[in-house]
Amino acid sequence: MSNSAPIPDLQPAPYLGDVAEGPAGARTWWVNTADGTRIRMCIFPEREKGTVIMCPGRTEYIEKYGRLANELAARGYSMAVIDWRGQGLADRPAHRRDMGHVVSFDEYRLDFSAVRAAFDLLNLRAPHFLIAHSMGGAIGLRALHDGLDVRAATFTAPMWGIQMAPALRAISPLVLGLAGQLGFGKAFAPTTGPATPMEFDDNPLTTDRDQFDYMIRQVAKHPELALGGPSTSWLRAALRETETLMKLPAPDVSCLTILGTRERIVEPSAIHDRMATWPKGELWEIPGAEHEVLMEGPAMRNAVMDRICALFDQHA
């Protein structure tokens, strides 16, 4: 349930506190975007140093970051986090709710624009900072280019490129281009499909069993949070957006980007290329870490949080 009160243009939304393990007093609202899509936003209780805006990755949802909200709160920061369209409890695609689907990444820009307006309505405690993970790394980078005002930013395994098998990458422009023309834009992208249970052994997300089980419990108890693979339209849009973002100059903001050396989802070379041209940026590679560096074991996670909050503290 939600502890939120209705205010103009925002209505209370559910918060699944039974699985989030986040700080008490979370407030959640429905936010309507310019194209009529209903997304969900959560703000955890205010802390003295300001607010971290959390941009989740593909398939993710507010409750997945409950533990992160606790860790930030212990270091003096509140957190605001978003259910992007098609994820969590936000509006899902009409044709298939278990498929990640957009035609253009400009749709996520509409989501972020609506959330920024909601932040203004709620007087989100300043100063503001950004953490953006995976797909959220593309959305968050675009938001910086669109004028998002934050003192500093952290990206974890940002989706500035997508790992693909060499053979698939070679034919992807043709396959993805024809998919839309032939009416397959709403079909699952090649090598993906409906959501299926993940086993811990050799999973590409985390080496920590407790964090893995935390994520699995959430979806097991609330299967409405589950999401399968992306559509061919989503993949085409993602490749176009990452290509465009890589051609833009780095934003004028202090940035720490964190990448695990066992990354198997996003493209490490794109991250290296981007950070090599970011004057106020630093790339930190963590030996042995998988995609979810915020959800690795306690020692590694504490080191990550210390580095992130040290950056934010410098600019608070």
User: In sequence order, what E strands does 177-304 have?
Assistant: 254-260, 281-286
d(CA 73, CA 164) in angstroms, rounded, equals 37
Looking at the chain, the whole-number percentage of residues with pLDDT higher than 90 is 88
Say what the pLDDT of residue 280 is. 98
Q: Domain coordinates of the chain in residue numbers? A: 11-315
Residue range 222-244: mean pLDDT, rounded: 95
Task: Yes or no: say if 260 and 179 are a contact pair by the CB < 8 Å rule.
Answer: no
Residue range 239-265: mean pLDDT, rounded: 97
Say what the pLDDT of residue 190 is. 83
Residue range 193-209: mean pLDDT, rounded: 96
Would the CA dihedral through 300, 304, 309, 310 be positive or negative?
positive
177 falls in which pLDDT band (50, 70, 90)? low
Encoded tokens for 135: 């797909």
d(CA 153, CA 252) in angstroms, rounded, equals 11
- Tell me whether residue 147 is exposed, middle or buried, using C-beta atoms within 10 angstroms of its C-beta: 0 to 12, 13 to 18, 19 or more: exposed
More confidently predicted of 191 and 31: 31
CATH number for the domain running over 11-315: 3.40.50.1820
What mean pLDDT is reported for the chain?
A: 94
Say what the pLDDT of residue 166 is. 63
d(CA 268, CA 248) in angstroms, rounded, equals 18
Q: What is the pLDDT of residues 143-170, one digit of tens each?
A: 999 999 999 999 999 999 999 866 456 5
d(CA 40, CA 148) in angstroms, rounded, equals 19
191 falls in which pLDDT band (50, 70, 90)? confident
Q: What is the DSSP letter of 190?
A: T
Q: What pTM did the predictor assign?
A: 0.95
- Among 124, 129, 132, smallest CA distance to 150 is for 129
Q: What is the pLDDT of residues 93-110, one digit of tens each?
A: 999 999 999 999 999 999
Say what the pLDDT of residue 179 is. 59
Encoded tokens for 166: 């060499």
Asked if residue 175 has pLDDT above 70, the reply is no
Task: Yes or no: say if 119 and 80 are a contact pair by the CB < 8 Å rule.
Answer: yes
Q: What is the pLDDT of residues 58-77, one digit of tens each?
A: 999 999 999 999 999 999 99
